[in-house]
Amino acid sequence: MRADRLVAALLLMQSRGRVTAAELATELEVSVATARRDLEALSAAGIPVYPQPGRHGGWQLVGGARTDLSGLTDAEAQALFLLAGPAASTSGEIKAALRKLMRALPETYRAEARAAADATIADPSRWGEHPRDHPAEVRQLQQAVVRRRRVRFHYKDAPREADPWGLIDKDGLWYLIAGTAKGRRTFRLDRVTDLEVTTGTFERPAGFALDTAWDEVVGTIEERRSRTWATLLIPERFLWVLRDQFGRHCRPGDVFDDGRVRVRVGAPTPRDIARTLSGWGSAVEVLDPPAVREELARIGAELTTLYAR
């Protein structure tokens, strides 16, 4: 598209200060005549670019400006390329966008930005698993969010209509935060079926911020996941395993002379805690509440009955 070329031409002049039609043609993979027409179009559109004749001439911005059109600092550019670099290996669109942005950066930023883009590879599949694809609904909903289009779908077999405000990828599990007739709601995409993007439009509520909304959702869910708390003693050298099992619901406390550490762990119910701790055997001692101790005793009795003979 010509608009893409005009922006690319402006970015190139911003980064280099001056560019010839031949150089622009090489960069944009067009003819020299097309590149020259694009440069003339920029000037005709009121953008302060002008040609400088002569052997060492070319086109440049008025005043010889060589600022970074993107507005990024060196640290911001590195952070962006570190984040987007891994995604570029699987998306041609991201790869093209990074290539254009690279041209917009000042020369002094480019080497580190390029290194940042190549510093990380993202492999979304676990060991023994095939790579996971995004749900088919993700692409549709992304476009609906950007274009502010209302959507219809079935959720748990019930018909719904919503204004898609934003999408969240939580370790491969996608969520939609949307406005409905009953207020803001959160939907898991793996439970969405029969998705339809309508022609109806909407506006996001004033002051809505997706990150803030998601923090509220996470807080509510985590609160539900930790309605029961237990205090236990475990050898300090095994604390990392317990943290892996309970995540943010594992809170270490005092370390005692016998090498054990007091820990608080949380889960929805006493049975959930007992099920996780039962595999530890006598390595873990639960101090409270009695409900968790009783569940552990029940599990132990069941195992004894089953395997005693």
65: pLDDT strictly greater than 60? no
CA distance 204 to 224: 28
DSSP 3-state of 66: coil
CA distance 247 to 249: 5
27: pLDDT strictly greater than 90? no
CA nearest 175: which of 159, 160, 164, 186? 186
Residue 219 located in a structural domain:
no
CA nearest 179: which of 202, 207, 198, 197? 202
Residue 91 located in a structural domain:
yes
In this structure, are residues 189 and 137 in contact, taking their beta carbons and an 8 Å threshold? yes
Q: Region 41-49: what's the mean pLDDT?
A: 72
Residue 69 located in a structural domain:
no
Residue 95 located in a structural domain:
yes
- Token pair 């993107």 is found at 70
CA distance 292 to 271: 7
Give 254 or 112, the one with higher predicted confidence. 254
Each residue of 79-109: pLDDT tens digit? 666 666 666 666 667 677 777 777 666 666 6
Residue 124 located in a structural domain:
no
Each residue of 206-216: pLDDT tens digit? 888 888 899 89
Residue 221 located in a structural domain:
no
DSSP 8-state code for residue 172: T
Q: Region 64-81: what's the mean pLDDT?
A: 58
pLDDT of residue 284: 94
CA distance 59 to 199: 44
Against a cut of 0.85, is the pTM above it? Answer: no
Task: Judge if 190 and 232 occupy the same domain.
Answer: no
Each residue of 102-154: pLDDT tens digit? 766 666 667 777 777 766 666 666 677 666 666 778 888 988 988 899 999 99
DSSP 8-state code for residue 50: E
Percent helix / strand / coil, the chain, rounded to 5:
50, 25, 25
Q: Name the domain count of the chain.
A: 4
Residue 299 located in a structural domain:
yes
Give 240 or 51, the one with higher predicted confidence. 240
Pull the structure tokens for residue 283. 């390595």
Q: Region 38-58: what's the mean pLDDT?
A: 74
CA distance 75 to 70: 13
Expressed as residue numbers, the domain containing 275 is 226-307
204: pLDDT strictly greater than 70? yes
Task: Judge if 149 and 171 occupy the same domain.
Answer: yes
Containing H/E element for 74? helix 74-88
Give the Cα-Cα-Cα angle 298, 292, 283 (nearest 5 degrees): 85
pLDDT of residue 63: 57
Residue where one domain finishes, among candidates 180, 208, 236: 208
Pull the structure tokens for residue 168. 């969240």
Q: Region 230-250: what's the mean pLDDT?
A: 93
DSSP 8-state code for residue 31: -
Give the E-state strand segments of the chain in sequence order.
18-19, 49-52, 58-61, 149-155, 158-170, 173-180, 183-188, 192-201, 228-235, 250-255, 260-267, 285-288
DSSP 8-state code for residue 131: P
12: pLDDT strictly greater than 80? no
